Amino acid sequence: MQSAIFLDRDGVINQAEIRGGKPYPPEDLKSLKLIPGIRKVLKELNSAGYLLVIVTNQPDVARGLVSKESIEEINAFLMEQLPIKAIKTCFHDDSDGCECRKPMPGSLIKAADEYQIDLNKSFMIGDRWKDIEAGKKAGCKTIFIDYRYNERRPDSPDFIVNSIQEISKIILGINDEKSK
C-alpha cells in the first residue's frame, strides 16, 4: 500500500476566478493559470514517494455551463504538465446525490482501490469545506488552504495554510518526524 496526496483542482492546482468572494473554475484551457509554485511543490511530494491524485467536482457540466470536453482538455493538460497519477472528476451536481461528489469520499475511495492507496497515510488538500469533509470521511489527514472565501468554512481540518508553498513543509516535516 502506498501513500497519496489527493488534491482539489481549482484553487489548489490552478487559480480559481473569484467573483463575489467565491471561487469559480476556468471555463477552458485558455483561461487556465497554474498556482505559482505548484510545479515545485508537486515535484517535491512526488519525489518523496507520494502518489498524486487530483479529485475535482465539476458541476458546471451538469448545469450546462461548460462542456465535458473542455474539462477533459484541462485535465489532459494537467496530466501532461504535472507529475499527477490520475484525475478523478465528478461531473454531477449536488442534487444528483452521487458518492463521487465531494463532500462524499467516493472518488478518494475509488482511487485508493485502483492504486492500492493507504488512506490513513494519505492527505487531502483543498480550499473548500467539501474537500476537507471528503478527506476526513475517507480517513485522510486534511490540509485546508484558506483563501478566505465568502462561504462556509471546513470543520476541524488537520492543518490550515495560506498558500500551496506551505504544504510540502507540513507533509515532508511529518515524515521527517516519523523517521526519527
Residue 36 belongs to domain with CATH number: 3.40.50.1000
**Which residues are identified as catalytic?**
8, 10
C-alpha dist (Å) from residue 111 to 23, 76, 123:
25, 17, 13
Q: Has residue 156 been placed in a domain?
A: yes
Q: Has residue 87 been placed in a domain?
A: yes
Residues 6+ apart with CB under 8 A from 122: 3, 4, 5, 6, 112, 140, 141
Q: Has residue 54 been placed in a domain?
A: no
Q: Has residue 4 been placed in a domain?
A: no
Q: Has residue 121 been placed in a domain?
A: no
Helix (H) or strand (E) holding 178: helix 165-178
Q: Has residue 30 been placed in a domain?
A: yes
pLDDT digits (tens, 9 = 90+) for 37-66: 999 999 999 999 999 999 999 999 999 899
Is residue 27 within 8 A of residue 66, CB to CB? The reply is: yes
What are the respective helix, strand and coil percentages of the chain, to the nearest 5? Answer: 35, 20, 40
Q: Has residue 168 been placed in a domain?
A: yes
Q: Has residue 73 been placed in a domain?
A: yes
Is it the case that residue 89 has pLDDT exceeding 50? yes
pLDDT digits (tens, 9 = 90+) for 61-81: 999 899 999 999 999 999 999
Q: Which residues pair with 34 in a beta bridge?
A: 14
Indicate the average pLDDT of the chain. Answer: 94
Domain of 93, in residue numbers: 9-48+59-116+131-178
Q: Which of 54-63, 119-128, 168-177 has the lowest mean pLDDT?
A: 168-177
Task: Say how many domains are in the chain.
Answer: 1
What is the model's pLDDT at position 173?
A: 86
Span 135-141, average pLDDT: 98
